Amino acid sequence: MDKQERDAMIAQYKRGYETILAAIEGMSDAEWDAREAPGEWSPRQVIHHLADSEMASAMRIRRLINEDSAEIQGYDQEVFAEQQYYRGPVEPALLALQGARLSTAAVLDTMTDADWQSAGTHTESGPFSAEDWLRSYAVHCDEHADQIRRARAAV
């Protein structure tokens, strides 16, 4: 990954929270629990997932750049999505998402070329580098914002 591609992905990462806010603007009660299809997550579940995932991702990038051969633990996001708190208010989850993104953006701004080459192993997918982390999380909010819009359109 060259610096131009990395910078574009960092900019996309930094816009993620605002992308989600735009996707949920004016959300009705019915839309929060709508699903684009059976078995898909509702916007409420998506927001809770983003909070959990982004808090985990914040530690993942820190571990990658601070630990030799960091082991990045996967988790079953489908199990999390069925938990009771995924049916609760979204405001705390939005704050967690915002905080994780802001604090991690500051980390990204300080990373050196050597930091970007840091790598470890993801327990589910194998070799996992700081650049792999960026490829995954730069688009994360955008992909889920699209999912939210599709669920809203189904109402």
CATH number at residue 133: 1.20.120.450
Residue 85 has pLDDT above 80, yes or no: no
Domain count, the chain: 1
H/E segment holding residue 122: strand 119-122
Pick the more confident residue, 21 or 82: 21
- One-letter amino acid at 117 equals Q
- Average pLDDT of the chain is 94
Instruction: Classify the phi-psi angles of 39: left when phi > 0, otherwise alpha if psi is within -120 to 50, otherwise beta.
Output: left
Q: Which two tokens stand for residue 89?
A: 């208010």
Instruction: Classify the phi-psi angles of 69: left when phi > 0, otherwise alpha if psi is within -120 to 50, otherwise beta.
Output: left
Q: Which of 22-26, 50-54, 82-86, 105-109 has the lowest mean pLDDT?
A: 82-86
Q: Residue 77 belongs to what domain range?
A: 3-153
C-alpha atoms less than 13 angstroms from C-alpha of 67 in its C-beta half-sphere: 13
Query: What local confidence, expressed as pLDDT, does residue 27 receive?
Result: 95
Cα–Cα distance, 28 to 35 (Å, whole number): 13
Share of the chain above pLDDT 70, in %: 100
